[in-house]
Amino acid sequence: MNILAIESSCDETAAAVVQDGRTVRSNLIASQADMHATYGGVVPEIASRKHVEVIAGLAQRAVEESGLTLQELDAVAVTYAPGLIGAVLVGVNFAKSAAYALKKPLIPVHHVRGHIAANYLTHPDLEPPFVCLCVSGGNTMIVDVQDYTHMTILGATRDDAAGECFDKVARVLGIGYPGGGPMDALAQGGDDKRYDLPRAHVHDAPLDMSFSGLKTAVLNLAHNAQQKGEALDLPGLAASFAAAVSDTLVPRTMEAARQMGYGKIAVAGGVAANSRLRADLERACRASGDKLYLPALALCGDNAAMIGCQGYYEYQAGKRGGLDLNAYATRDISKG
Ligand code: KG4
């Protein structure tokens, strides 16, 4: 089964063709990050307008590169939630038109389910059930993936997403946008004990997380240093920050895995590229005996191949979108 997949939930327009869920025939991404860098974050209207400009041409190229004809496509899958609403609407509307013109079924896909599916593309042997730490610019949650289309949230952030926190800290430190990658690179030469940063706990919800206090602590450090005319040890701060984020995510993920007892842990989303997080999870899984699945670096960020993969499993489970399909800024992953 060949699926044309479309993703436009934030600042990447993406189109891919995926065969039988796990074989990527083409995977194209048009990133707008440079455009938003001027503003230090994603400007929603600019994102929507850029999606409108590039989406049709990108989808056409994805089909061409797949080596298939339009007639050989069997369905169109699209991210319909969650994300920047104007941006998601562009993808949904395009996918609807494509499905209508091709007379093929339309498959709505939850964006975070797509991130989880990036692991199926990286690891042909991976099958549910497993516990997945989903960490991106807009979402941070620990998910019980019972099967391909049944999942529940075991714990989640109460405020900022981990990636959002990386981006805001990077902006204040003048490191650029998006900040996660450059912060990660900067942290390589840094002392992770240089700054004492908070690790928050949510009372009575041991698997939930909070990053706003950590973010504020770094912002205060930066402002105080600026007022006193003192220089910050930037590599040390980046390393201390990455350690605080990882210390928040890793023990909760391991505890969730212990509770579920599947013996398998996966990681998903843009922050899954973080080297400190990957190293800490590897160490923790060696100690616990859980098998760790990390997505290929190229599939951590937003892409359409992951949507085509998850779309295949949603299709098998009978999910279809009608021509009245709408887009949603937020949607519970358990509802698909
Ligand atoms: O999954 P993604 O592309 O978009 C969403 O679905 O939100 O994630 C983007 C996020 C950004 O916040 C970016 O700064 C972060 O992932 N990110 C990283 C790294 N690479 C990207 N964060 C930490 N370390 C990295 N190496």
Q: What is the mean pLDDT of the chain?
A: 97
Whether 110 and 77 have beta carbons less than 8 Å apart is answered as no
- Which CB contacts under 8 angstroms, 24+ apart, belong to 282-289? 284/250, 284/251, 284/253, 284/254, 285/254, 288/254, 288/257, 288/258, 289/263
List, in sequence order, the alpha helices (H) in the chain: 33-37, 44-66, 85-102, 111-122, 162-172, 180-187, 212-228, 234-260, 275-288, 305-316
Query: Which residue positions form the known binding site for substrate?
Result: 134-138, 167, 180, 184, 274
- Whole-prediction pTM: 0.97
Work out which ligand 1 atom sits closest to the CA atom of 178.
14
Q: Is the pLDDT of residue 272 over 90?
A: yes
Burial annotation 158-197 (CB, 10 A radius, 16+ → b, else e): ebbbbbbbbbbbbbbbebebbbbbbbbebbeebebebbeb
Q: What is the pLDDT of residue 77?
A: 99
% helix, strand, coil for the chain, step of 5: 50, 20, 30
Residues 6+ apart with CB under 8 A from 177: 33, 36, 37, 39, 40, 41, 167, 170, 171
d(CA 166, CA 144): 25
pLDDT tens digits along 182-221: 999 999 989 999 999 999 999 999 999 999 999 999 999 9
Nearest CA to ligand 1 atom 22: 180
Work out which ligand 1 atom sits closest to the CA atom of 163.
12
Q: Is the pLDDT of residue 140 over 90?
A: yes
Which of 136, 172, 215 most suits a substitution to test ligand 1, by most atoms within 8 Å of the C-beta?
136
Specify the range with the lowest mean pLDDT, choosing from 69-78, 168-177, 206-215, 226-235: 168-177
Tell me the CA–centroid distance for residue 138 and ligand 1, in Å. Answer: 9
Specify the range with the lowest mean pLDDT, choosing from 82-86, 174-178, 242-246, 274-278: 174-178
Residues 6+ apart with CB under 8 A from 55: 6, 8, 13, 15, 90, 91, 94
HSE-up of residue 134 (Cα within 13 Å, Cβ side): 28
Q: Which of 272, 308, 254 is nearest to 181 (CA)?
A: 272
Span 83-107, average pLDDT = 98
Kindly indicate the confidence band of residue 96, based on its pLDDT and cuts at 50, 70 and 90: very high
Cα separations in angstroms, 164 against 154, 192, 194: 21, 20, 23
Q: What is the pLDDT of residue 50?
A: 97
Whether 21 and 313 have beta carbons less than 8 Å apart is answered as yes
Tell me the CA–centroid distance for residue 269 and ligand 1, in Å. Answer: 7
The pLDDT > 90 percentage for the chain reads 96
Tokens 């993920």, residue located? 253
pLDDT tens digits along 147-166: 999 999 999 999 999 999 99
Q: What is the pLDDT of residue 37?
A: 87
Cα separations in angstroms, 225 against 219, 220, 233: 10, 8, 10
Q: What is the pLDDT of residue 177?
A: 86
pLDDT tens digits along 102-132: 999 999 999 999 999 999 999 999 999 999 9
pLDDT tens digits along 29-65: 999 988 998 888 899 999 999 999 999 999 999 999 9
Residue list, ligand 1 pocket, CB within 6 Å: 10, 136-138, 163, 166-167, 178-181, 184, 269-271, 273-274, 301-302
Q: What is the pLDDT of residue 41?
A: 87
Whether 143 and 131 have beta carbons less than 8 Å apart is answered as yes
Beta bridge partners of 28: 15
Q: What is the pLDDT of residue 176?
A: 84
DSSP letter at 232 equals P
The pLDDT > 70 percentage for the chain reads 100
Strand, coil or helix: 105: coil
Q: What is the pLDDT of residue 40?
A: 83
Work out which ligand 1 atom sits closest to the CA atom of 269.
1
Tell me the CA–centroid distance for residue 204 and ligand 1, in Å. Answer: 29
Work out which ligand 1 atom sits closest to the CA atom of 276.
24
HSE-up of residue 164 (Cα within 13 Å, Cβ side): 14
Tell me the CA–centroid distance for residue 273 and ligand 1, in Å. Answer: 7
Q: Is the pLDDT of residue 5 over 90?
A: yes
Nearest CA to ligand 1 atom 1: 270
Work out which ligand 1 atom sits closest to the CA atom of 275.
26
Q: Which of 168, 117, 162, 118 is nearest to 138 (CA)?
A: 162
Q: Is the pLDDT of residue 3 over 90?
A: yes
Span 319-331, average pLDDT = 97
